[in-house]
Amino acid sequence: MRIAIAQLNIHIGNFDSNTEKILNAVRSAREQGAELVCFSELATTGYPALDLLESPHFIQKSNELLERLKEASSGIGIVIGAPRINPELPGKNLYNSAFFFANGQQLGFADKALLPTYDVFDEYRYFEPGKKFNTIEFKGKRIALTICEDIWDLVNEDPIYTFHPMDELMKDKPDLAINISASPFSEGQHRNRKKVLKMNAERYKLPFFYINHVGAQTDLIFDGGSLVVGPSGEVQDEMPFFEECVRTYELDEIMKMDGISKLQSTDRIALMHDALVFGLRDFFVKLGFKKAIMGLSGGIDSALTAALTCRALGAKNVHGLIMPSEFSSKNSVRDAEKLVENLGMSSDILDIGDIYDLFTSKLDAFFGKTPFDVTEENIQARARGILLMAYSNKLGHVLLNTTNKSEMAVGYGTLYGDLCGSLSVIGDVYKTDVYKLSNYINREEEIIPRSTIVKPPSAELKPDQKDSDSLPDYDLLDPILKMMIEKKYSMEQIASEGYNSEVVQKVWQLVHRSEFKRYQTAPVLRVSDKAFGYGRRIPLVGKF
């Protein structure tokens, strides 16, 4: 049997476009001689469709797409993920299902049994877990059809489910397994997938065909990387990252092959770079936006954001505002102008000195002779935010936020100022990785000025200011933050790793006191296992 994998960039709720794209993939699979073509989890609707799944009209449109696919299945089998109405209430109204069509008929379906409710996943909000397990026979082969999480619990040292769906399906003695998935990108997820598929193949002695989404849905980025794994656990092929692709495999050859056939490059920083560019581009394309704007300070965060955005949208579609105050160094303005020149983007310089003076003079009547403090610093940041938002409103450019994850974690940013924006580009990138990404961008030629990279980081909101005046050095701060946020260590556990307990306590307090800021910031492109956003839910007024 010749089996095609179609990893496509599905646009949530764009049923006309999705239908055309899926039918084109069916035609492509036919041209490649495929007898069966497989699509990803919830491919008719896009993933995650969230509360759109509660709309009867939305489900109706998905069902209409399924009918089109059933009609298109003459001479070819089609596996595709879609919501399925639950006919056996009480229970949730829908199942997260995989449909199997061939020759104009529905041969069967599989309902997802293990519904993740952690991190960015909240599937039990919408779906009833599947309870019936049967293989589907096609072309003389019994196929174990599963959906994403249904094969993932093997890898957990502390399993969160009480059974393995594949154990149930093995009672039918399947010949192969197909898993349709919606597995979002994080910097180590490609390794996790291969581990999961290898463990399943070795356990069940079956070849596995794993189909993943590709494309970004606001903050979630799906990288593709669909896999074909032989029955002894060897990876036969890994499809491209961040690209749509239809590729066909001969089952008999997969059964006989031994060893790794083809793997994608997995350099961590390169993947992070590609994910951010891909996520940016899809955000603009899927929302119909064309042009972006951001503030350029001459610092490394805005420089990296500008470089990524130019790669995603093209330099002609990116504009920067350079907004110096009396505390901005001439070097910073020069660095920002050099960046603009290197990238080929456009920019304007808007000095905020007179605006800042006007604000402070108006407030003198209330503040009297109180000393300069964070209030005056924030006025500068908010003046810049007003100018950026005005430019965005008047000219239709989308404002991008340039705050990194380290700053966002400890609240080193101003609400309604430098935290403004429709999308946070590097809000899931720690400062130490900002430097690595900048050097990666400069690996062939200097794009981000070297002087921007080597100078001490500073908000330049008061004389001779440096980030290290308020925060531990980033080489110290970032490992502490990773243990807090990703690994969920306690203060005591972090200190036991050799970190000063007073520093750990300070960082802990900064992170938790800043939760209110993160509630009000832009969605963050997710590239780590634990990004700020709905995948990390911390009480706003909790005390812990």
- Of 38, 148, 310, 420, which is the active-site residue? 148
- The continuous run of DSSP H or E covering 16 comes out as helix 15-31
- Distance between CA 248 and CA 6 in Å, rounded? 9
- Distance between CA 42 and CA 246 in Å, rounded? 17
Q: Is 127 helix (H, G, I), strand (E, B) or coil?
A: strand
Q: How far is CA 296 from CA 270, 453, 470, in A?
A: 24, 14, 22
Nearest of 54, 44, 48 to residue 15 by alpha carbon: 44
Task: Dump the DSSP string for 345-383.
Answer: -EEEE---HHHHHHHHHHHHHHHTTPPP-HHHHHHHHHH
- Distance between CA 34 and CA 534 in Å, rounded? 40
Task: Dump the DSSP string for 528-540.
Answer: SSS-SBTTB---T
Backbone angles phi, psi at 363, to 5 degrees: -90, -10
- The continuous run of DSSP H or E covering 107 comes out as strand 105-111
* Contact (CB, 8 A) for 7 and 245: yes
Backbone angles phi, psi at 460, to 5 degrees: 50, 50
Instruction: Examine the residue annotation and report whether 112 is marked as an active-site residue of this protein.
Output: yes
What residues contact residue 537 under an 8 Å CB cut-off, 6+ apart?
none
Q: How far is CA 297 from CA 45, 242, 338, 351, 479, in A?
A: 41, 31, 12, 12, 26
Task: Dump the DSSP string for 385-401.
Answer: HHHHHHHHHHH-PEEEE
- CA 524 to centroid of chain Cα atoms: 8
Instruction: Examine the residue annotation and report whether 148 is marked as an active-site residue of this protein.
Output: yes
Instruction: Examine the residue annotation and report whether 173 is marked as an active-site residue of this protein.
Output: no
Q: Is 59 helix (H, G, I), strand (E, B) or coil?
A: helix
Backbone angles phi, psi at 419, to 5 degrees: -90, 5
Q: Looking up tokens 């605006």, which residue turns up?
A: 355
- Of 21, 35, 38, 112, which is the active-site residue? 112
137, 141, 147, 152: CA torsion to nearest 10? 140
What residues contact residue 481 under an 8 Å CB cut-off, 6+ apart?
405, 406, 409, 410, 430, 507, 511
- Of 41, 238, 377, 460, which is the active-site residue? 41
- The continuous run of DSSP H or E covering 342 comes out as helix 330-343
Residues forming the active site: 41, 112, 148
